[in-house]
Amino acid sequence: MSATELVDKSNELLRGQSSHARVTMKIDTPRWERTLEVEVWNQGRQRALMRIQAPAKERGNGTLRIDKEIWNWLPAVERVIKIPPSMMQASWMGSDFTFDDMVKADSVVKDYTHSILEEKKEGNRTVYKIEAIPRPDAPVVWGKVLLTISEEEGRVLPVQEEDYSERGEHMRTIRFSAVKELGGRVIPTKLECIPHKKPGQKTTLLYRQFDVDVSFGADFFGLSTLQKPLQ
């Protein structure tokens, strides 16, 4: 596989053509910590919906993506806020993951060019270090992304992502681990995002449920679903 094919398969793994997941997000800082229970739905590369199930004070908060448009729903104030494209790299719910990370956008595939820097065998698998450089005028925040991806008998898994600023500063690392079968697909069920400018802080995502090839109604990904009270 080419560098771009490896990146594309790795990016698609935790999204699928359609999927439904339940995840636990734990945000740790030197001063405080909090845990969110989040339900996530994806359809292809263009549609995603997230709703917070817990804690109670944030229950019902949600984010909807349709193509390049994103909305936030805040039920406490009954307000829908449209998120501008410039905010795609902003923090989602105070975590170290961005809106782009959470709605599984494919920016790292379409907005970057890819090249294999290193290829090595580790037992039955091959591990690739891939450099992603932004295309000219691409609307991205990272000046460079280094991706570590493993491939074994056609099975591609993300291992690590390192994000750098335009000035070459190492801003954060995302580590993928706890690989196991969930919902019929082998995936990393633990993602740790470590911001290097904030010592002692990290955000962890734990997948508790993951289902692929899920069917959705024609109007599922819409503002009405985003604002619908949770049962």
218 in any annotated domain: no
pLDDT tens-digit profile, the chain (231 residues)? 899 999 999 998 988 889 999 999 999 999 999 999 999 999 988 899 999 999 999 999 999 999 888 999 999 999 999 988 778 778 898 899 988 788 766 788 989 999 999 999 999 999 999 999 999 988 888 999 999 999 999 899 999 999 999 999 999 999 999 999 999 899 999 999 999 999 999 999 999 999 999 999 989 999 999 999 987
31 in any annotated domain: yes
Domain with 28, as residue range(s), is 3-213
Token pair in block for residue 14: 């935790």
Q: Let me know the angle formed at the C-alpha of 14 by 62 and 206, rounded to the nearest 5 degrees.
A: 70
208 in any annotated domain: yes
Token pair in block for residue 176: 């993928």
The CATH code of the domain that includes 27 is 2.50.20.10
57 in any annotated domain: yes
Answering whether pTM is above 0.85, one says yes
Number of domains in the chain: 1
* Stated length of the chain: 231
81 in any annotated domain: yes
Residues 6+ apart with CB under 8 A from 48: 40, 41, 42, 63, 64, 65, 102, 103, 104, 221
Q: Let me know the angle formed at the C-alpha of 8 by 117 and 210, rounded to the nearest 5 degrees.
A: 125
